[in-house]
Amino acid sequence: MSNKPELLSVESVRVQFPDGTVGLSSASFSAQQGEIIAIIGRSGAGKSTLLRCLNGFQEITSGEIYVSGESVHSMGNTELRRLRRQIGFIWQEYNIIDRLPALTNVLTARLAHNNPWQSAVGFFGSEHRKIALHNMQRLNLMHRATLRADRMSGGEKQRLSIARALTQEPDIILADEPVASLDPELAWQVLSDLSRVTREDGLLTILTLHQVHLAVEFADRILGIAEGRIVFDGPPSALDDEAQTKIYGGRLPQLHTSEENYLKAMA
Amino acid sequence: MSGSSSDVVRPAKPSGARTPSTDNLLSPWPKISLKSGGIVLLIMAVYAWAMTGTESAPSKLIEGFPAIVDIVSRMLPPRVEFWIVAEHFVETLQMALIGTTGGIILSLPFALLAARNISPHPWIYQITRILLNINRAIPELIFALMLVAAVGLGPFGGVLAIAIGSIGSLGKIYAENIEAIDPQQVMAVRATGAGPLTTFLYGVLPQVLPVMTSYSIYYFEVSVRAATILGVVGAGGIGFIIQQYMALFQYDLLFGALIFMAIAITLLDRLSDLLRRRIT
């Protein structure tokens, strides 16, 4: 093929859980390198399900997902591991390994790159350590490198998990409600950090968010999901009252377009 | 539905239970129902049955009283052959140390198979659990009897008995520790593309290592207590001395050895407590 395939392409994806409920019904979109996409919608609308399909944690019932032109659906275990190496994941509850030091936590991102037998005895060569430390520096965590992760604050843990995701040297970052466990001020800071580093690296970033104003502030593009369907796909500027009604079913959250107004409103 | 709005607060659904009358709730007297009276009668019947079965009767206790007094009087005053007892107690500690360590190593593979969340297959999980339960049902003393017959008299039989006898308990508790981990942290490691071995080492092991270490130290204490008795069947340690004192009717020396053991084990418990409190 002469033209490069899109980095991510989701085609009519349907997810039906074993109990019969439909998580996603016919979701389609595609995304390019460097985009920051926020997925918004009410709880249970299918936001997390969509993210989990993208790295193969959630099996899809029908449809296709292509990452760099390869079908996720037809991947075996080895291919799935290679896919996951290419995708950094950031979680609402951080999912840092509490009893490991910060640096070791970041180094877990190199497990898929390092020789497994070296990893088994805790050996990570300096090439891996350099990448880990570089990313910790970018997130201002160097002073925490040897601290056990359970001694860190919520904001630090989430920055640590961003550093971990970047240390995979991924093409895509997925973030599932990355700031839902943080207070408004920390949420703003963490999203600023996340969008800064992923823009610097030109990564495709897809994050789910509960707060529309954060999506409007930090994303280039917004996907609105309601009842398992993508009901809005466009730039933040196009997210008018009508679009929000479609996504949220009538309740219109207040929009705040600067950090100052946002924090004032949250206070 | 057009009429309903998600903002409407609905009252909690009434549950099936009746609300008791206020008179009943205010009454200070306990209510004895037919059911609770029946349960009390049943428990009394079980005790009566067990006492008949074991021929337990106060009259028998009174009959045996002079003999008990005789033995107790021969125990007093206690005497201690300190160095002999100490030497055999140290041997007991050595047996417990090597035996428990062997048990830890032997039980780890069983623990991995018997933890529901990481066991490769539900059948393997069930079979391993059954094997661990069978092992737990057999006391160390029985293993010691068989192993002394196999490897001869002396502490090595005791070491083997402790190692094999602890697989069931250690394997079960380790498996339960593994089942109690936070699966999200494991998922986060898996999400980096790590393989099964490294996911276990970096996602599971750090979570269970402190609690497993703490339990292993505690189990060393348990093994020391178990090891004291193994000498009675010829498997070395302080039990061997106790067995000899009894055979020679040296009850004062026996009492001295028991006092020594009580003090030594209490000190050991304190030490293990202090050690375990430092592990988090």
Per-residue pLDDT tens digits for A2-18 = 455 689 999 999 999 99
For residues A5, A9, A12 and A13, what is the CA-based torsion angle, rounded to 10 degrees? 130
A-interface mutation test, from B1, B190, B192, most A Cβ less than 10 A away: B192
Q: How far apart, in whole angstroms, are the C-alpha atoms of residue A127 and residue B96? A: 45
Band the pLDDT of A1: cuts 50, 70, 90.
Answer: very low
**Looking at CA atoms only, how far is residue A160 from chain B in angstroms?**
13
State mean pLDDT over A230-250. Answer: 87
**Are A228 and A22 contacting, i.e. CB atoms less than 8 angstroms apart?**
yes
Contacts (Cβ under 8 Å, ≥6 apart) of A56: A72, A75, A80, A83, A84
Using N-to-C axis directions, what is the helix angle for B251-277 and B58-75, rounded to 10°?
90
CATH number of B82-277: 1.10.3720.10
Report the candidate in B94, B104, B220 with the shortest Cα–Cα distance to residue B155: B94
Q: Is the pLDDT of residue A206 over 90?
A: yes
Measure B268 CA to nearest chain A CA, in Å: 28
Q: What size, in residues, is chain A? A: 267
> For position B10, what pLDDT does the model report?
54
Nearest chain A alpha carbon to B201: A120
Residues within 8 A of A (CB atoms), B 156-185 only: 182, 184-185
- Distance CA(B138)–CA(B143), nearest Å, equals 8
Question: Are A84 and B192 an interchain contact pair (Cβ–Cβ within 8 Å)?
Answer: yes
Which token pair is A235?
A: 């730039």
Select the more confidently predicted residue: B7 or B226. Answer: B226
- pLDDT value of position A196: 94
Report the side by side order of strands in the sheet with A221-226.
A87-90, A172-176, A204-208, A36-40, A221-226, A229-234
> End-to-end CA distance of chain A, in Å?
54
Structure tokens at B11: 């009252």
Judge whether A23 lies within some domain: yes
CA–CA separation, A96 vs A157, rounded Å?
7
| Per-residue confidence band for B243, with pLDDT thresholds at 50, 70 and 90 | confident
Handedness of CA B67, B71, B74, B77 (dihedral sign): negative
Report whether pLDDT(B224) > 60.
yes
Structural domain contains residue A65: yes
Q: Give the C-alpha separation, A198 to A162, whole Å.
A: 10
> What percentage of chain B reaches a pLDDT higher than 70?
94
The pLDDT of residue B50 is above 70: yes
Give backbone dihedrals phi and psi of A231, rounded to 5 degrees, phi first. -105, -5
Q: What is the CA radius of gyration of chain A?
A: 19
Residues of A in contact with B206 (CB under 8 A): 97-100
Q: Map out the domains of chain B as residue ranges.
A: 34-75, 82-277
Residue B133: pLDDT above 60? yes
Residue A53: CATH number of its domain: 3.40.50.300
Give the Cα separation of B233 and B47 in Å (integer). 33
- For residues B178 and B117, is the Cβ–Cβ distance under 8 A? yes
With contacts defined as CB-CB under 8 Å, which chain A residues touch B192? 84-85, 88-89, 108-109, 111-112, 164, 168
Structure confidence at residue B6 as a pLDDT band (50, 70, 90)? very low
Q: Indicate if the pLDDT at residue A219 is higher than 80.
A: yes
Reported as a pLDDT band with limits 50, 70 and 90, residue A252 is low
Planar angle of CA A132, A134, A136, nearest 5 degrees: 70
Residue A1 lies in a domain: no
Specify the pLDDT at position A192: 94
Find the residue in B nearest to A121 (Cα): B201
CA atoms of A51 and B240, how far apart (whole Å): 66
Residue B65 neighbours by CB distance under 10 Å: 10
Largest interatomic CA distance in chain A: 57
A56 close to A89: Cβ distance less than 8 angstroms: no
Q: How far is CA B77 from CA B17, B72, B122, B248, B255, in A?
A: 66, 10, 60, 17, 9
In 3D space, the residue among A52, A83, A182, A74 whose CA is nearest the CA of residue B184 turns out to be A52
Nearest residue on chain A to B194, alpha-carbon basis: A112
B1 interfaces chain A, CB cutoff of 8 Å? no
- What is the nearest CA distance from A109 to chain B, expressed in angstroms? 6
Kindly list the residues from chain A whose CB atom is less than 8 angstroms away from the CB atom of residue B198.
111, 116, 119-120
- Over residues B155-181, the pLDDT tens digits come to 888 889 899 989 999 999 999 999 999
Mean of pLDDT over chain A: 89
H or E segment to which residue A141 belongs: none
- Strand A87-90 to A36-40 pairing: unpaired
Owning domain of residue A191: 8-266
A65, A10 contact by CB (below 8 A) = yes
Q: Give the per-residue pLDDT at A44.
A: 82
What is the predicted pLDDT for the residue at A251?
54
Instruction: Give the β-pairing of A221-226 and A62-67.
Output: unpaired
Q: Name which of B188, B201, B209 is nearest A95 (Cβ-Cβ).
A: B188
Q: pLDDT tens digit string along A45-76?
A: 888 899 999 989 999 999 999 999 899 988 98
CA–CA dist B144, B133 (Å, integer): 18
**What does the alpha-carbon distance between residue B245 and residue B226 come to, in Å, rounded to a whole number?**
19
Q: Which member of B182, B187, B192 has the closest CB to residue A112?
A: B192
- Whether A85 is in a domain gets the answer yes
Residue reference for tokens 């069930």 = B126
Q: Look at residue A2 and tell me if it is in a domain.
A: no
Total structural domains in chain A?
1
Q: Is B122 exposed, middle or buried (0-12, 13-18, 19+ CB in 10 A)?
A: exposed
Cβ <8 Å between B184 and A55: no
Q: How many other C-beta atoms lie within 10 A of the C-beta of residue A263?
A: 13
CA B84, CA B244: separation in Å to the nearest integer? 12
Instruction: Find, among B131, B142, B275, the residue nearest to B215 by Cα.
Output: B275
**CB-neighbour burial class of residue B179 (10 A; exposed 0-12, middle 13-18, buried 19+):** middle
Phi then psi for residue B143, to 5 deg, are -55, -40
Nearest neighbour of A120 by CB, restricted to B189, B190, B197: B197
Size of interface A-B (CB pairs under 8 A): 81
CB-based contact (8 Å) between B196 and chain A?
no
pLDDT of A108 higher than 90: yes
Residue A223 is classified by DSSP as E
What is the spatial distance between Cα A37 and Cα A89, in angstroms, rounded to a whole number? 14
Closest C-alpha to B260, from B73, B78, B70: B78
Return the residue matching tokens 């009174």. Answer: B62
Dihedral sign computed on CA atoms, order A37, A41, A43, A44: negative
To which H or E segment does residue A255 belong?
A: none
